[in-house]
Homo-oligomer: A and B are copies of this chain.
Amino acid sequence: MRRIEEEIAERALAYVLDPPSDPNDVIQYASPDDLIAVFDDSVGFSFAADAPAERAESIVAAVEKVIEHSVHTSHPRFINQNFAGPDPVSVVGDWLGAALNTTGATFEAAPVFTLMESAVLSKLGRVCGYIPESDELIPPLPPGLFCPGGSTATLYALQLARHRHQPDIAQRGASGERLVLFVSSAGHYAATKSAALLGIGIDNVIKVESDSVGAMVPVALETAIADATADGAVPFAVIGTSGTTVTSAFDDLNALADICEAHRLWLHVDGCYGGSALFSGNHRHLLDGVERSDSFVWNLHKMMGMTQQCTALLVRDPQQLDRCFAGKADYLFQPDKLYADYDSGDRTFQCARRIDVLKLWLSWKHHGDTGFASRIDHAVAMADHTRARIAGSNGEFAPVSGTFTNVVFAWVPPALRPITLDPAAIADLDPQTHEVLHTLPPMVKAQMQAEGTAMVGFQPIAGLNTFRMLFMNSTVTTTDVDAILDCISEYGANAVASAEQN
């Protein structure tokens, strides 16, 4: 046997080069107990006291079980959540970063990657309009930083907003005034979780009315700000969402920017999901006005297929990063080191930081701007195909919501067709119909998982469980979409039949 590292790497590479796709299963599902038992004849799943060093052959056998029982997120029938289908170039770029194992905090330990972050953040800053196209391509102070995920970026952005409002916040702590921030009712829960951690409190995150697709109603924001102010609270920030989690709705950023400018509020744009629309000339208008915001978070591990995680937090005024986050640790950021002025670590909260930029840099060099645009256009084309199939289904599928890459819909039992299921209609359903429709998606999904045919997400809309198909995997074809819808039809019918038998 070769070295264990080679054996494991070989299996990982084979997976990347030829990932499971139809007719292979998306998942070979097992209960927790069954899953643990699968490892009994190799290394055992758990660690007892005095855990022994296992034989290399047993570890390699365990690796094969890990692969076999993991969810194949690169499979074109994994349409389950807002990441899918990692770009293979990103995967091996991630590998190279891991092999070179360093931290992004200092130029000293990461000379290539410090400059690479600057090059990529500059490009992202130009794409979103924070800096002009004529700006430096590799500025010493880039317009943002990389973070471990969108929630963390939201946390940092809200701290930047609070810091502008109260410049001594870092030193002295919160002043005691009741700060409030605003986000649409369809916005991501990172807003409330961040408010909790910042000591602002979930109660001080004001959920602003959103329309039937999930976009914030600007006039409702105006009202909410006035109400909060009248109530003695101090508004300091608004989160606009570009691509909500469930329906991919886009807030009108220009309308939000007008309001924020009038009230001197920090405008943060949560483009974790939809930010990548900026890559496509056909869709970048969805983010019109983002250049007027103060901060913008963009998860390249969602639509762009970077591996987990690749999050850019962009800021219009990068000087604020240093003012807000600097810790000035003298054992790390020694000013008497070579090129210490390039050190990025004192502009963020983290100390050691994994290299997330290399995979994006390689992928972008490989695909170019045109390739990045194609990925977006393809995703929307798949969603459009899904919408067309639903519209032509003679009531078998009922559209519920969604836009851009997201399609939210129900499968309707024959006895209930045709039925209207937009969010307003859902509220008016009689309890028995609601119950029938509500219990179907979990049953359909359980059968999908049991048979491994597909993975499609479901979630409540106005209290009713509905399916969500959302697209970003570039290997998904209309054949996959059709097969998944057929699968939902079949399992839906099975669920109805089984309910009738009981």
Contact = CB atoms under 8 A, between A and B. Distances in A.
Interface stretch (A87-95, A254-262, A389-397): A87-95
Given A12-B92, A199-B169, A73 B53 contact: no
A220 interface: no
Contact of A338 (B190, B332, B446, B459): B446
Interface string A335-373: 011110010000001111111001000101111111100
A285 interface: no
A44 to B, nearest CB: 8
Interface stretch (A102-110, A314-322, A427-435, A488-496): A102-110
Nearest to A119: B46
A231 to B, nearest CB: 14
A449 to B, nearest CB: 6
B362 A112 contact: no
Given A69-B112, A446-B338, A89 B8 contact: yes
Given A32-B111, A52-B369, 14 more contacts: A4-B366, A5-B88, A9-B13, A15-B96, A46-B122, A47-B122, A56-B366, A63-B362, A71-B109, A91-B101, A169-B196, A173-B200, A331-B457, A334-B459
Contact of A92 (B5, B332, B334, B367): B5
Given A35-B111, A99-B91, A350-B152, A202 B339 contact: no
A88 B93 CA distance: 17
Interface in A1-53: 3-6, 8-9, 11-13, 15-17, 27, 29-32, 35-36, 43, 45-53
Given A349-B197, A352-B150, A334 B173 contact: no
A151 interface: yes
Interface in A170-220: 170-174, 176, 178-179, 188-190, 192-193, 195-204
A301 interface: yes
A137 interface: yes
A283 interface: no
A53 B370 contact: yes
Contacts of A457: 331
